[in-house]
Amino acid sequence: MIRQRWARAWCCVLICVISLCIVSVNPVFGATVKKSVSRPTVKKPVQQTVVKNGPVRVTADAAVLMDVVTGDVLFGKQENKRRPPASTTKIMTAILGFELGKPDEVVTVSQKAANVGEATIHLDPGEKITLYELITGALVRSGNDACVAIAEDIAGTEEQFVKLMNRKALALGANNTHFENTNGLPLKEHYSTAYDLALMARHGLQIPQFASITRQRETKIHFLDPNVFMDLKNTNKLLWNYPYADGVKTGTTTAAGKCLVASATKDGRQLLAVVLNAPDRFGDAKKLLEWGFEATETVRMVTPGETIAEFPSVKKSVQVFSDDPIDVSIPKAKRGDLRTRVIWEKPPNLPVRAGERLGHLEVWLGDQKYNSVPLHSKSEMLKGS
């Protein structure tokens, strides 16, 4: 069983590494990442903050506001500063739980998992419970013991699972993150950033089961042996006092302070706020999210299949299009600063094959490049035509 789980785990790691290499080598073709069924194409987020002077002052030491679909950063305050992430760590634990495990597989709780202290779901050695219920206990009630049980089920040991967490973080572009455990209990080399946590939460929200669990105010988990139910109440109070809130995870330790990763959806648009070491974490998150909904917007710059330009061939121009959309999220006041540039990669001569890549389109806001998509010929144009 352990051999099978490791094979499954290393397969996922290999895929992550390959994906990371593709993005590094070719930013044009690496501009999109996994998308959910109901969402538009999701592009890899930019590394720079669009605007610093967003909402009025927030109490958080570090904060970021990100559009979930586009990945664009709308506000940042020390967003790349390394800090203890506390229980927001469990976002990554849950992601790997769903990606590497089978939700309905039965887990037998070990002595080590049962011995984990602080916030727990009170696991006892020998109890049997499904992986899905453990992930629910980790996300809703912030069970430290549940995280260790998840790790042992998937990777054999917590230490081996943590290695997978760090590899996954790098594959997602979370370059200022290093995990030492699965639950966020304080350790010197256990750190992340507001920006990195937003990347991880954004990825998690594209997993339907992850998104479903983190939006629940209250739920029950079912233990198989003994056959009992446990009531759980979400630690994320924003789910009660902000009507648009729909996730994600709290975290609190003495070293980290009060932390929150919070998502909200309004008029079909989902934003993600991260606040670290925030005395008023729920107030800060609500303030950031409301500012984002009111002062920023998502603009579609490229529609798939739409004629973008005409390739200047010697005798006759050829229409070009993109297979991929480009959506950008920006402050409303900056919409007039958006620009597009067509870069031709082929000399203006024939022949041109139908579907041939002839160049790419770039979208810029001032001196910041947001994204680019390849441009392909709509028709064939032969020599002598």
The catalytic position among 43, 90, 286, 287 is: 90
Distance CA 344, CA 375 (A): 9
Q: What is the block-wise mean pLDDT of the chain (385 residues), using blocks of 10 residues?
A: 47 47 34 31 42 73 97 96 98 98 97 93 97 98 97 98 98 98 96 98 98 97 97 97 97 97 97 98 97 96 93 82 94 93 89 92 92 92 63
Distance CA 63, CA 289 (A): 12
Beta bridge partners of residue 296, listed in sequence order: 331
Report pLDDT for 351: 86
| Homologous superfamily of 2-296 | DD-peptidase/beta-lactamase superfamily (3.40.710.10)
Considering the chain, tell me which residue range(s) the CATH 2.60.410.10 domain(s) occupy: 303-377
Report pLDDT for 47: 40
231 membership: H or E segment, kind and range: strand 228-233
Report pLDDT for 211: 98
Record the tokens describing residue 246, joined without a space: 């729909």
Asked if residue 68 lies in contact with residue 292, where contact means CB atoms within 8 angstroms, the answer is no
Report pLDDT for 229: 97
38 is catalytic: no
The catalytic position among 43, 77, 110, 142 is: 142
Report pLDDT for 21: 46
Domain spanning 303-377, CATH class: mainly beta
- Taking phi over 0 as left and psi of -120 to 50 as alpha, with beta for the rest, 7 belongs to alpha
The catalytic position among 87, 192, 322, 377 is: 87
What are the angstrom distances between the C-alpha of 153 and each of 106, 210, 212?
9, 18, 22
Interior angle at CA 117, CA 252 and CA 254, nearest 5 = 25
Beta bridge partners of residue 203, listed in sequence order: none
Distance CA 322, CA 308 (A): 7
Record the tokens describing residue 285, joined without a space: 């998150």
Q: Give the Cβ contact number of residue 255 at 10 Å.
A: 14
Q: What is the largest CA-CA distance in the chain?
A: 80
43 is catalytic: no
378 is catalytic: no
Backbone angles phi and psi of 172, in degrees to 5: -85, -5
269-276 vs 106-108, strand pairing mode: unpaired
Considering the chain, tell me which residue range(s) the CATH 3.40.710.10 domain(s) occupy: 2-296
